[in-house]
Amino acid sequence: MERRVVITGIGAITPIGKNVEESWKSIENKKCGIDRITAFDVSTYKSTLGAEVKDFNPADYLDIKQTKRLDRSSQFAIISAREAFKDSGMTSENTDFDRVGIFVSSGIGGLITIQNQCTINCEKGHSRISPMFIPMSIANMPAGNIAIDLGLKGESISIVTACASSTHAIGEAYKTIKHGYEDAVLAGGTEASICEVGIGGFENMKALSNSDDKNRASIPFDKERNGFVMGEGAAVVVLEELEHAKKRGAKIYAEVIGFGATSDAYHITSPAPDGEGGAKAMTRAIEDAKIKPEEIDYINAHGTSTSLNDLTETMAIKKALGDASKKVMVSSTKGNTGHLLGAAGAVEAVFCVKAIEKQIVPPTINYKVKDENCDLDIVPNEPRNAKVNVVMSNSLGFGGHNASIILRKYED
């Protein structure tokens, strides 16, 4: 028998907040977390804006040994996982930690560490490379480090599907609990790729916005959009089998009811031009949830602010929802946070949980010029008080990876 899966804890550290509450308040207050990059000198770059985690000092959260042995991506992961785990109220007295998994992803992994150690190799030779280079940089280590930090001994994996990574992580965690393999899973993603090679690589790909106006750089679905703005941070949600959660008296935020994933099988970076792959992922999620398209109240779109993504995602939503696409509320919170790559889906899942809890739809901030080809109800600029009982969140990654999850307001 399939088991019901609920969300009992949430944690985040983002460009607009050091925790979930700060981040959500920033959504309600329409805060833009984008500004000129401070991590390095961007004077020779065309893309000078980023969405950094502001005033971050790892020593405020971690001991000295940890700060030296963890890449920034793992630091973010542990911080958000601790918040989610504490929020869940899960302890060794009410939960068997052997049946708690960690599905935490990163699209790129420890890119800052890779850059730094490659520089040392070039300047000082291979003998000066840190013995911690590999364990700090490989993409599975955020999940591994969370397991070590919290003492969780269930399945621990890191699903790498570019910008769909953490939505895949949440979806696969949902399936793992649904079919009885674990009682709970901490699922989400982390990313810290704002560095010279990270910005340079995406800039030379012509994926980044060249705007120097932070309020006109990440503008999803706006006709004047010209690329995404890279963000950093992490988010983790605690997924749990319903009866297990009820038995220990956990607070239940929402229920996970559907997951769908597909591949475009089209191009290494460009989405399929007709939106077919994304549409099929949404359709699979809807079928898994056993709902009708018109039951979806709100879609948190991938909405990266690139010309191709926003257009093809619009087409995909229309294909998947049919006539219901004319009424569903749609927004992208990347105007607030920038694009957190592999962590984007997890951060947006947290915002979807809060949207259900507060019955508020996050706005697409800094939206000014309507694109007639992106003719959905984009929810511009102001939060919208509305019925938010069923929410879909989409993530689309390089390589043609598509993932969609559906959450519903919990009812016993």
Active site members: 163, 302, 339
Residue 247, phi-psi category: left (phi > 0), alpha (psi -120 to 50), beta (remainder): alpha
Report strand pairing: 156-157 vs 100-105: parallel
Question: Which contacts of 67-72 are long-range, i.e. CB under 8 A and separated by 24 or more positions?
Answer: 68/132, 69/132, 69/135, 69/136, 70/136, 70/145, 71/109, 71/110, 71/112, 71/113, 71/136, 71/137, 71/141, 71/192, 72/110, 72/112, 72/192, 72/232
Residues whose CB is less than 8 angstroms from the CB of residue 78 and which lie 6 or more positions away in sequence, other chains included: 61, 62, 66, 70, 142, 145, 146, 149
Phi, psi of 47 (to 5 degrees): -100, 110
Residue with tokens 């630091």: 75
What six digits make up the tokens of 211? 């705007």
Report which of 287, 277, 102 is spatially closest to residue 190, judged by C-alpha positions. 102
229 token code pair: 């703005």
Q: Using an 8 Å Cβ cutoff, are 25 and 362 in contact?
A: no
Neighbouring residues of 294: CB distance < 8 A, sequence distance ≥ 6: 321, 323, 324, 327
- Is residue 372 classed exposed, middle or buried when 0-12, 13-18 and 19+ CB atoms within 10 A define those classes? exposed
Q: How far apart, in whole angstroms, are the C-alpha atoms of residue 31 and residue 354? A: 16
For residue 259, list its beta bridge partners: 405
Phi, psi of 327 (to 5 degrees): -115, -20
Q: Which residues partner with 236 through β-bridges? A: 11, 188
Six-digit token string for 237: 């949600």
Beta strand 5-13 with 254-263 is antiparallel
* Distance, CA of 99 to CA of 28 (rounded, Å): 36
Helix (H, G, I), strand (E, B) or coil at 299: strand
**Six-digit token string for 63:** 């001991």
Q: Per-residue b/e over 108-128, b at no fewer than 16 CB within 10 Å?
A: bbbbbbbbbbeebeeeeeeee
